[in-house]
Chains A and B, each alone.
Chain A
Amino acid sequence: MSDLDQFRSETRVWLDANCPPEMREPVRDDADVYWGGRKATFKNDAQKAWFEACRDKGYTVPAWPREYGGAGLSPAEAKVLREEMARINARSPLSSFGIWMLGPALLQFGTEEQKLKYLNEIARGEIRWCQGYSEPGSGSDLVSLQTFGEDKGDHWIVNGQKIWTSYADKADWIFCLVRTDKNDKYRGITFMLFDMETPGVSTKPILLISGNSPFCETFFDDVKVPKQYGDGIPAQVGEVNRGWDVAKYLLGHEREMISGADGGDRTAAIGATLTRAAGAPLDPVLRAELAMFDVDALAYAAMGEKFLDEIKVGKAHPAQPNMMKYAGTELNKRRHELIMAAGGSAALEWDSSESSEGAKPRAWLRTKANSIEGGTSEVMLNVIAKRILELPGA
């Protein structure tokens, strides 16, 4: 038996013993997703047991080194774990912008002391992070951001406003792009970390067309950010004024995440499920649309797998995440259009208990943001044209 086969059989035994049956059911609502943090509560004992088992094993971040709270798995082992979890439909034990975004940035740009402190906190689900990027006047043109940090010697005084900050009202800390030099557009931004409880930070949820408020406006009013939190722990990641490098690196990760390259049911075929749910044969033209969608979805699932395989060995084009993000989000929008079409008038119900408080229409509306957040589809196409196809003047 190869080492990998050995690992697979051990993983099966471990999952069997540690993943409660409730954690193998599909996620139904927000409370089914555990985000960690100071204010976190568990929905039930099963969620708590599953999270704690994974935390203690390093499986909230399996591929991170052990000293940072991970399990130190090789890429091949991490893939086996993913496959085995997918096989039993195990839920993710911990969802976190710390895992998806700040973590990768710290691993790349952080000091050793920053990694030891923040990565362990993230892995253990102790601190919930949010991301302060977009501003009212800086969406697609992010680098024009205006939130300003004034240098006061041993600290910064930060003033400005962020928007579309996911779950800012529930987060403990923020990683935030702050202009620290007004004379240099690209080399005048610092990637700052600070506590959301710092005086002068306030948040206001934004009510969306889905009726939900996953995003906030975040205001900074004379927020005092110390330049050092301790030895080797500066307030910023990377160098002062070089935060754009970190941001760009991180946008790649965000695009991978939104693209659904991390797997999950966004890449699954849906025709069979929707037809079964309808309880009667669907209109033949709709069936044809579903079939066309399933072809695209199954092909995209292969693309997701190929993309992950290629990233691991550095074979993927550095701009390929933009393609994944573009194709993945457009596909997801189409998926939810078809769910609505197949659902008919039942899929219009907004707050009935039969409709799980309008799960379908709310999810459908939510997907319209997929191709806007993290870089619009149009920006993704611009990047593909410029960096991959090398078209002129793009």
Chain B
Amino acid sequence: MPLYHDDDQAMLADTAAQFMGEEGAIAKQLRHWRDKGCKDGFGHALWKQMAEMGFTGILVPEADGGLGMGHVEAGIVLEEIGRNLTPSPFLTSSVMAATALGQGSDDLRARYLPGLLAGDSVFAVAIDEGAKHNPDRIACKAEKSGNGFRLNGRKDFVVQGASADMIVVAARTSGGETDAEGVTLFAVPKDAAGVGHNSVRLVDSSMASHITFENVELDGDAVIGEVDGGRAVLNRVLDAGRVGAAAEGVGVARGSMDMTVDYLKQRKQFGKLIGEFQALQHRAAHLYSEVEIARAAVIKAQQLLDAGAENASLMASVAKAKAGKAAGLAVKEGVQMHGGIGMTDEYDIGLYMKRDRALAEFMGDLYYHAGRVAEMSGY
């Protein structure tokens, strides 16, 4: 498959760019909700609109009422979300939770997917325990209890956890904390007793929860996939999240770069447009090169994931790492090249820097994924 968008995908990209550029614009969403101190960190009306556009069901199979598309299409929407810094539950709900539910029972899919497709429901994913992403270690415990399970433990960095109608939780049903086997995924409903949220605002104005589970009783039918065999589902969810976050990262990089290159063409100092200075031209050109390469890595990973290829997970880590590198460079160069104005809250470039920081940590940072690439390569 060629590494560019086919006609249908190009059309979706146009639609997504227009929609997000208008409805998801920084002033209309990110700043609006931030300045209101919104407890969700995003607007439900926009989520409803995204459902009307069909975006929420991109990864949901047609048999379940979705569009039955792939990670390339989801990534197209995510890149525009990144470019416009649009706060929404798309990555956690429509990409990661939808991937988990895709492995779930008929009952689970019937219970949760209609709400997602309609833009009425928001889902979160609880994997991390501690401040650094390390999905190889799952300590949160689910013990057999009657016909179901009793969940105890804590999760961190659960993005939009307090707003979620359902949380996909990775818990241990057997074995030690770092055993590959013995992990089970659960769909924990919002109203389950014993779930405690400490919802905090992050640097990019998004909301994330530290969640505690205290003797949370779950029905047996809350299990997604197989008991003790959840690692396979979790890996799918992680890969979807990595590639999705990478696509959003590329959007952040491109948004930041475009804004910066525009600024170089407008700002005058020493009687010249600053974009005439070779010192800045070379840095901008190097940035362009990095962002282009990151885009290529991301679309390659999306295609491999859609094809179920053996090396998809390796490429997912390459994509997340490279997108992190490129976006990190884009926002740092962005603020520096803007000079003083880049430090002001009034100007948007700093918002890109903040979003990049949060996105870099989400689903593992550059260091985590470079290390994973080394391990998967055998060194």
Q: When A295-B318, A295-B322, A391-B261 are in contact, do A288 and B370 touch as well, CB less than 8 Å?
A: yes
A290 at the interface (CB under 8 A from B): yes
A303 at the interface (CB under 8 A from B): yes
Q: What's the least CB distance linking A371 to chain B, in Å?
A: 13
Q: For the complex, what is the distance from the CA of A288 to the CA of B370, rounded to whole Å?
A: 8
A275 at the interface (CB under 8 A from B): yes
Q: For the complex, what is the distance from the CA of A393 to the CA of B281, rounded to whole Å?
A: 10
Contact A323 B3, beta carbon cutoff 8 Å? no
B85 at the interface (CB under 8 A from A): no
Q: When A298-B315, A384-B289, A392-B265 are in contact, do A275 and B4 touch as well, CB less than 8 Å?
A: no
Contact B300 A306, beta carbon cutoff 8 Å? yes
Central interface residue in B2, B265, B301, B322, by most chain A CB within 10 Å: B2
A56 at the interface (CB under 8 A from B): no
A348 at the interface (CB under 8 A from B): no
A238 at the interface (CB under 8 A from B): no
A208 at the interface (CB under 8 A from B): no
A181 at the interface (CB under 8 A from B): no
Whose C-beta in chain B lies nearest to the C-beta of A320? B292
Contact A389 B261, beta carbon cutoff 8 Å? yes
A63 at the interface (CB under 8 A from B): no
Q: For the complex, what is the distance from the CA of A303 to the CA of B318, rounded to whole Å?
A: 12
Contact B325 A295, beta carbon cutoff 8 Å? yes
- Determine which of B272, B278, B296, B377 lies in contact with A305 in the assembled complex, contact meaning CB atoms within 8 Å: B296
A291 at the interface (CB under 8 A from B): yes
Q: For the complex, what is the distance from the CA of A189 to the CA of B278, rounded to whole Å?
A: 29
Contact A381 B3, beta carbon cutoff 8 Å? no
Contact A315 B294, beta carbon cutoff 8 Å? no
Interface size class of A (residues with CB under 8 A): 35 or more
Q: When A381-B285, A393-B276, A394-B281 are in contact, do A287 and B292 touch as well, CB less than 8 Å?
A: no
B299 at the interface (CB under 8 A from A): yes
Contact B379 A275, beta carbon cutoff 8 Å? yes
Contact B373 A294, beta carbon cutoff 8 Å? yes
Contact B281 A272, beta carbon cutoff 8 Å? no
Q: When A271-B374, A385-B282 are in contact, do A299 and B293 touch as well, CB less than 8 Å?
A: yes
Contact A378 B282, beta carbon cutoff 8 Å? yes
B224 at the interface (CB under 8 A from A): no
Contact A389 B4, beta carbon cutoff 8 Å? no
Residues of A within 8 A of B371 (CB): 288, 291
Contact A309 B2, beta carbon cutoff 8 Å? yes
Contact A305 B3, beta carbon cutoff 8 Å? yes
B288 at the interface (CB under 8 A from A): yes
Contact A298 B373, beta carbon cutoff 8 Å? yes
B305 at the interface (CB under 8 A from A): no
Contact B265 A385, beta carbon cutoff 8 Å? no
A84 at the interface (CB under 8 A from B): no
Q: Mark B276-319, 1 if CB is under 8 A from A, else 0.
A: 10100110111011101111110111000000000000110111
Contact A392 B325, beta carbon cutoff 8 Å? no
B275 at the interface (CB under 8 A from A): yes
Whose C-beta in chain B lies nearest to the C-beta of A274? B379
Whose C-beta in chain A lies nearest to the C-beta of B276? A393
Whose C-beta in chain B lies nearest to the C-beta of A380? B285
B321 at the interface (CB under 8 A from A): yes
Q: For the complex, what is the distance from the CA of A392 to the CA of B266, rounded to whole Å?
A: 10
Q: For the complex, what is the distance from the CA of A35 to the CA of B123, rounded to whole Å?
A: 61
A296 at the interface (CB under 8 A from B): yes
Whose C-beta in chain A lies nearest to the C-beta of B280? A391
B264 at the interface (CB under 8 A from A): yes
Q: What's the least CB distance linking B10 to chain A, in Å?
A: 10
A302 at the interface (CB under 8 A from B): yes
28 contacts between A and B (CB under 8 A): A269-B377, A271-B377, A275-B379, A288-B370, A290-B374, A291-B373, A294-B374, A295-B322, A295-B325, A295-B369, A295-B373, A296-B293, A299-B296, A300-B293, A302-B293, A302-B296, A306-B3, A307-B296, A310-B4, A312-B2, A313-B4, A382-B281, A385-B282, A389-B261, A391-B264, A391-B284, A392-B275, A392-B276
Q: Which 3 A-B pairs have the closest CB atoms?
A: A299-B297, A306-B3, A302-B300
Interface residues of A (CB under 8 A from B): 269, 271-272, 274-276, 282, 287-288, 290-292, 294-296, 298-300, 302-303, 305-307, 309-310, 312-313, 315, 320, 323, 326-327, 378, 380-382, 384-385, 388-394
Interface residues of B (CB under 8 A from A): 2-4, 261, 264-265, 272-273, 275-276, 278, 281-282, 284-286, 288-290, 292-297, 299-301, 314-315, 317-319, 321-322, 325, 366-367, 369-371, 373-374, 377-379
Beyond A295-B321, A295-B373, 9 extra complex contacts between A and B, CB < 8 Å: A269-B373, A291-B371, A298-B318, A299-B293, A302-B3, A305-B300, A389-B284, A389-B285, A389-B288
